Structure 1
Amino acid sequence: MSSNILHKHDGEVKYNTLNVTTPKQFVYHVELHRPKKLNAFNKDMFVEIKKCFENLSTNPDCRVVVLSAAGKHFTAGLDLADAMKMGQELGAVDDVARKGTLLEHTIKLYQDSISSLEVCPKPVITAVHSACIGAGVDLITAADIRYCSEDAFFCVKEVDIGMAADVGVLQRLQKVVGNQSLTRELSYTARRFGAAEANSFGLVSKIYPTKEACVEGALELATTIAEKSPVAVQATKANIIYSQSRTNQEGLDHIRQTNKLNLQSEDFANAALAALTKEQPTFSKL
């Protein structure tokens, strides 16, 4: 399986469907970058998102990721023309078990791609503008923080193309908004909803007047987070995710096991000293 990822000679990775930059120290900015296709998700984009976030997970120069999109829309959702290629592949296979195996591998790849934002130990902030359809909602619900512009609109689109969403939104949306009734309404009807409504029920936490202001706001937030101890921030993300589907006591047990090591870290001593002296602490790469 090839994602057509190109490698620069200096060891950095260049992608066909993404644009990755470092606008601030320790902050990486990942843009969906198929603007002529309205950033629709094709197989390459799924593969490259997974590869990108796996790389950033272990990159000591990355502490926070901002995810936005180039062009007119954040994303139009699944690239149906690309999806038709899967139909052609299935059509060439006669046996139902082998068709099922092919679909199993593809769906798992796409699920892992979306989940790579959640699995990434670094906080991921999304800056959404205009259309965020189908796979776009799957994507942003796997992020830590969601901002949007006033023109943003959202749609859990999958039932309109004859399928149940299978890459994360049915699992994560209800946890994000804390409302089973609303989650089911949006998922059963595929109705479109705007920025104000998304903010009212907690899908996004802040609305900006323009795309540019939204991205800048996300980068400012990322810069603030990047100034904190990476040991503390990454442990915080890990415990929040761990605790989502477990009892309070299980979450407490998890953070206790984490902090019996992390409280011995130089970061804790540096931050405590900086708080006492009212100075800005600096932290080593992690």
Structure 2
Amino acid sequence: MENYLTLEIDQKNPDSSVFYLYLNRPNHRNALSRDFFTEFPRALSSLDQNPNVNVIVLSGAGDHFCSGIDLNDMSSIASQSVSRDRGRDGEKLRRHIKGMQEAITAIERCRKPVIASIRGACIGGGIDIVTACDIRYCSKDAFFSVKEVDLAITADLGTLQRLPSIVGYGHALELSLTGRRFSGSEAKELGLVSRVFGSKEELDKGVRLVAEEIASKSPLAVTGTKAVLQRSRELSVEQGLDYVATWNAAMLISDDLGEAISAHTQKRKAVFAKL
């Protein structure tokens, strides 16, 4: 398995198809460095292409999920964009931002579901990451902030595009304009997370149980559900129905349907082929 400077991949149970992807800069509260934006999409792609992986749990090493983009790296990016030609500087910076955006969007492009397991700080770039995830859980010590406005920048890696559809436009606007800190319990009330656990141990156990449950299902059905839900955000109901009809016309011919029916009839656990 490939080694990374800012990440760690762990298969806690060799018999499980749940793999753990850690943001791994605990001494920096997992701040996102320039290396992260190169490594993260590469790590997700490797997990996506690995037939032994059905579900990915994304977490942070140490006491925090993510404290946002590394401010030292942000300063170096800004200093590099100074020349006599403002147009070329602007185009260079735009390309850099687009590349960083693509790194976060890699979560959505990954066929396998990605579950965010959040404790401690989830700030700025951390919000960008979790809003791109498919399911979000946190511990009661978690706290959140759409912090970019306090750094005199407009959040540009996905929060302003994804957060409104999760918590509602009004809530997203208030959180983004104030940059205020909010708790795990408020995140649950807003719908940002699905459940708040009382401790790290309870969070780890709860996430593992959910991940294992999803991993036990047909991988074709799981990846199809993720793909259709994402595509339906951009389509009318009629267009979405047409899209899923076309999807299932291709996927229902797999052996998974017969296996699911047989397992239900025989009252046993279904066993599906790897994807």
TM-score bracket relative to the smaller structure: over 0.9
Percent of pairs identical after alignment? 41
Instruction: Name the CA distance, whole Å, in 2 between partners of 1:58 and 1:131.
Output: 30
Query: Runs (4+) of structure 1 moved beyond 2 Å?
Result: none
Which residue of 189, 195, 205 maps to 2:194?
Answer: 205
Q: Counterparts of 1:275 and 1:262 in 2: how far apart (Å)?
A: 20
Q: SS at 1:19's partner residue?
A: strand
1:34 positional shift: 0.3
Measured on the aligned residues, the alpha-carbon RMSD in Å equals: 1.0
Find the residue that maps to 1:23 and give its secondary structure. coil
Q: Which moved more, 1:137-146 or 1:238-247?
A: 238-247
1:183-238 Cα offsets, whole Å, 9 max, x none, are: 10001110110011100110000111112321222122111111100011000110
**CA–CA distance in structure 2, aligned partners of residues 87 and 226 of structure 1:** 43
Looking at structure 2, the residues matched to 60 and 149 of structure 1 have their Cα atoms a distance apart, in angstroms, of 30
**Given the alignment, which residue of 176, 183, 191 partners 1:187?**
176
Contact between 1:128 and 1:211, CA under 8 Å: does it hold in 2?
A: no
State whether residues 153 and 193 of structure 1, in contact with CA within 8 Å, keep that contact through their aligned partners in structure 2.
yes
Structure 1 residue 122 and structure 2 residue 109: aligned? Answer: no
State whether structure 2 residue 241 is matched by structure 1 residue 248. Answer: no
Rounded Cα–Cα distance in structure 2 between residues aligned with 1:210 and 1:113? 30
Aligned partner (choices 138, 146, 150) of residue 156 of structure 1: 146
Query: 1:34-74 CA deviation, whole Å, 9 max, x = no partner?
Result: 01111011111122111111222221111100011011211
In structure 1, the residue matched to 2:2 is 13
Q: TM-score if structure 2 supplies the norm length?
A: 0.97
In the other structure, the counterpart of 1:112 is 102
Code of the aligned partner of 1:47: T
SS in 2 for 1:108: helix
Aligned to 1:133: 123
Q: Aligned pair 1:32/2:23, yes or no?
A: yes
Amino acid in structure 2 at the alignment position of 1:259: N
> Is 1:46 aligned with 2:62?
no
Distance 2:87 2:17 in 1: 47
Query: Cα gap change, 1:45/1:212 in structure 2, threshold over 3 Å: closer, same or farther?
Result: farther
Q: Which moves more between the two structures, 210-219 or 249-258?
A: 210-219
Q: What's 2:92 paired with?
A: 102
Q: How far is the alpha carbon of 1:276 from its aligned partner?
A: 1.1
Query: TM-score normalised to the size of structure 1?
Result: 0.93
Question: Structure 2: how far apart are the matches of 1:245 and 1:187?
Answer: 23
Matched, 1:258 2:230: no
- What is the match of residue 68 of structure 1? 59
* Map of 1:225 onto structure 2: 214
Question: Secondary structure of the residue that 2:11 maps to in structure 1?
Answer: strand
Structure 1 unaligned blocks of 5 or more: 1-11
| Structure 2 equivalent of residue 8 of structure 1 | none
Question: Cα deviations across residues 148-182 of structure 1 (Å, max 9, x unaligned)?
Answer: 000001000111001111110001001112x2111
SS of the residue corresponding to residue 72 of structure 1 reads coil
- Give the equivalent residue in structure 2 for 1:283: 272
Q: CA deviation at 1:242?
A: 0.6
Does residue 167 of structure 2 align to residue 172 of structure 1? no
Give me the whole-angstrom Cα distance separating, in 1, the residues matched to 2:76 and 2:234: 37
- The one-letter code matched in structure 2 to 1:189 is T
Unaligned runs of 5+ in 2: none
Tell whether 2:227 aligns with 1:238. yes
